[in-house]
């Protein structure tokens, strides 16, 4: 199918890799002259691979990059001029401390023996770097860890993010502090936090016992309840999907989310990435790729959310380009690699799921916008083209198959006409976003995907580093450079 570059999992040298079809699956194979051959499943469904491949876009990256294009990718980032996507979502790890002791976690301060916790001023500088990105300042930020809520100054950090102009601010959390304190929930809400990215591995105790050593499901439910009553106003559930642990629960998780749609706005499935050495037979047995998640969703929702309802993250690029041309502004473009992630929207009525694709011809819609964009780009008057588009849109919608409780045509037309946050939020309020992103590991890493990454870390040394490369290659050295021995100020990690 194509040639790419990857990494030898043993010596970490850049090596050539082939991506090809075999028995309906897509395989990545590479050979290191010193450590031999490595093979892994890249995507478990070749047909879906081809569909997604059709939505590959080249972005223009960051014009004020930090270094010139690196021949030594991925070892040289801070972000270089060869990187093709700007920062769509920035991560800042504000601590590596945690208030849980999950046996599967090797990242916490206690296990690593040091604490890595940027100061408030360092965090300010990291955020300023993100806001200074050109041509499109980064507008979405996630505070992560460790467990970010163990830092008492998190509300002030959120306020600062708001002040600096981030439009979307979220906190990745295990939910412990939210479950234990309604006052804390209010504090986060008052600091203008709107979204919690809540780790949520299933709807029964078993996945929690397997991953965390105890049943934290009641705690997750309590955190959701507290957010419902006291804020923040929206939650995205984040299950890490592992074979034999929770792969039988993806449908149940979606149903749980839909039944809590007043507060749960999305589910983002993350197939597990391998962090240590793992041999080929075990990889073949345990590997879950994006098409596996889509198949599981289809099977476990009785076919209501079929694999055809999903499109790559990059599918929406023509929408941003159309809206940018309409409003003469530079909007973020989700030009991430089409095999990094997938998403869809579903509505939920009378116990049934209605994916957006069942009543909107999404491909026709994208084609319509792709054709219209050159007609309005740089033009003073856009009325004729906009009118033409608005006339066409209703023809792409089959109202009879759509949800009864909301006027979807009206919502889509409003987003196109006004394109503002209020209308986009109205669409989001009524639907459930389903997403999946497969983070890479040393076995399946594809440097073409890396170069298009739009999820970036801001690090205390002032760099912007793409997420997968940060976790695989850069995290350890940066954390050790900016750490102090554990415990800090005699402050132990908090126990539950």
Q: Which residue has the tokens 């041309």?
A: 325
Angle at 235 between CA 231 and CA 236, to 5 degrees: 165
- The only residue of 449, 463, 474, 475 in contact with ligand SF4, by rule CB under 6 A: 449
CB of 87 closer than 8 Å to CB of 466: no
Nearer CB in complex with ligand SF4: 347/439: 439
Does 79 contact ligand SF4 by CB under 6 A? Answer: yes
- Per-residue binding string, ligand SF4, 182-201, x by CB under 6 A, is --------------------
- The only residue of 5, 82, 112, 114 in contact with ligand SF4, by rule CB under 6 A: 82
Q: Which residue has the tokens 């870390």?
A: 457
C-beta of 130: minimal distance to ligand SF4 in Å? 15
Q: Which region among 29-37, 211-219, 231-239, 438-446 touches ligand SF4 (by CB under 6 A)?
A: 438-446
Does 70 contact ligand SF4 by CB under 6 A? Answer: yes
Helices and strands counted in the chain (H then E): 19, 19
- The only residue of 17, 32, 80, 416 in contact with ligand SF4, by rule CB under 6 A: 80
For residues 328 and 263, give the distance between their C-alpha atoms in angstroms, rounded to a whole number.
34
For residues 9 and 444, give the distance between their C-alpha atoms in angstroms, rounded to a whole number.
9
How many residues lie near ligand SF4 (CB under 6 A)?
A: 27
- The only residue of 219, 236, 317, 336 in contact with ligand SF4, by rule CB under 6 A: 336
What are the contacts of 38-43 at 24+ separation with CB within 8 A?
Answer: 38/8, 38/9, 38/280, 38/443, 39/280, 40/280, 40/283, 40/284, 40/287, 40/443, 40/444, 41/283, 41/284, 41/287, 41/289, 41/444, 42/289, 42/339, 42/444, 42/446, 43/289, 43/290, 43/291, 43/339
C-beta of 252: minimal distance to ligand SF4 in Å? 25
Nearer CB in complex with ligand SF4: 178/336: 336
Does 83 contact ligand SF4 by CB under 6 A? Answer: yes
CB of 466 closer than 8 Å to CB of 456: yes
Q: Output the DSSP codes for 51-76.
A: HHHTT-------TT-SBSPPTTTTTS
Displacement of CA 353 from its chain's centroid (Å): 22
Reference 292, options 334, 252, 328, 242; nearest CA is 242
Nearer CB in complex with ligand SF4: 97/456: 456
Nearer CB in complex with ligand SF4: 79/434: 79
Angle at 254 between CA 355 and CA 443, to 5 degrees: 100
Does 332 contact ligand SF4 by CB under 6 A? Answer: no
Does 326 contact ligand SF4 by CB under 6 A? Answer: no
Does 232 contact ligand SF4 by CB under 6 A? Answer: no
Does 373 contact ligand SF4 by CB under 6 A? Answer: no
Q: Which residue has the tokens 């929770």?
A: 246
Nearer CB in complex with ligand SF4: 217/273: 273
Does 59 contact ligand SF4 by CB under 6 A? Answer: no
Nearer CB in complex with ligand SF4: 195/335: 335
Does 30 contact ligand SF4 by CB under 6 A? Answer: no
Q: Which residues bind ligand SF4 (CB under 6 A)?
A: 70, 73-74, 76-77, 79-80, 82-83, 336-337, 340-341, 437-440, 449-451, 453-455, 466-469
């Amino acid at each position: 199918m194509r040639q790419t570059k990857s990494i030898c999992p043993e010596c970490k040298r850049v090596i050539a890799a082939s991506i090809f079809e075999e028995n309906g699956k897509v395989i990545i194979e590479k050979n290191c002259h010193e450590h031999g051959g490595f093979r892994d499943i890249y995507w478990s469904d070749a047909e879906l691979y081809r569909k997604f491949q059709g939505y590959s876009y080249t972005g223009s990256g960051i014009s004020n990059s930090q270094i010139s294009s690196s021949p030594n990718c991925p070892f040289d980032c801070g972000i270089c001029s060869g990187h093709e996507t700007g920062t769509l979502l920035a991560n800042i790890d504000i601590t590596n401390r945690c208030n849980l002791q999950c046996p599967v976690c090797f990242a916490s301060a206690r296990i690593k023996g040091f604490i890595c916790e940027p100061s408030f001023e360092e965090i300010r500088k990291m955020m300023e770097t993100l806001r200074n990105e050109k041509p499109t300042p980064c507008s979405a930020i996630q505070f992560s860890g460790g467990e970010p809520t163990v830092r008492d100054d998190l509300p002030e950090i959120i306020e600062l993010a708001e002040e600096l102009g981030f439009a979307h601010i979220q906190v990745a959390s295990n939910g412990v502090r939210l479950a234990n304190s309604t006052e804390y929930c209010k504090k986060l809400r008052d600091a203008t936090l709107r979204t919690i990215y809540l780790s949520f591995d299933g709807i029964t105790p078993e996945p929690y016992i397997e991953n965390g050593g105890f049943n934290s499901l009641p705690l997750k439910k309590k955190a959701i309840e507290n957010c419902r009553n006291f804020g923040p106003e929206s939650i995205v559930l984040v299950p890490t999907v592992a074979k034999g642990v929770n792969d039988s629960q993806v449908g149940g998780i979606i149903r749980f989310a839909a039944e809590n749609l007043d507060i749960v706005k999305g589910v983002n499935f993350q197939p597990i990435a391998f962090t240590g050495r793992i041999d080929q037979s075990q990889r073949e047995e345990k590997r879950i790729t994006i098409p596996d998640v889509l198949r599981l969703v289809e099977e476990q929702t009785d076919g209501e959310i079929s694999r055809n309802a999903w499109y790559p993250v990059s599918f929406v690029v023509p929408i941003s380009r159309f809206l940018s041309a309409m409003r003469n502004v530079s909007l973020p473009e989700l030009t991430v690699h089409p095999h990094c992630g997938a998403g869809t929207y579903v509505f939920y009525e009378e116990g049934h799921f209605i994916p957006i694709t069942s009543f909107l011809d999404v491909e026709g819609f994208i084609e319509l916008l792709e054709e219209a964009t050159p007609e309005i780009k740089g033009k003073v008057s856009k009325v004729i083209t906009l009118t033409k588009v608005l006339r066409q849109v209703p023809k792409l919608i089959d109202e009879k198959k759509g949800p009864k409780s909301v006027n979807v045509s009206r919502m889509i037309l409003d987003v196109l006409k006004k394109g503002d946050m209020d209308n986009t939020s109205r669409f989001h309020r009524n639907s459930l976003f389903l997403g999946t992103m497969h983070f890479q590991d040393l076995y399946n890493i594809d440097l073409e995907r890396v170069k298009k990454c739009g999820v970036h870390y801001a690090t205390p040394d002032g760099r912007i580093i793409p997420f997968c490369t940060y976790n695989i290659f850069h995290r350890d050295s940066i954390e050790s450079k900016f750490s102090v021995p554990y415990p800090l100020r005699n402050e132990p990690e908090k126990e539950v």
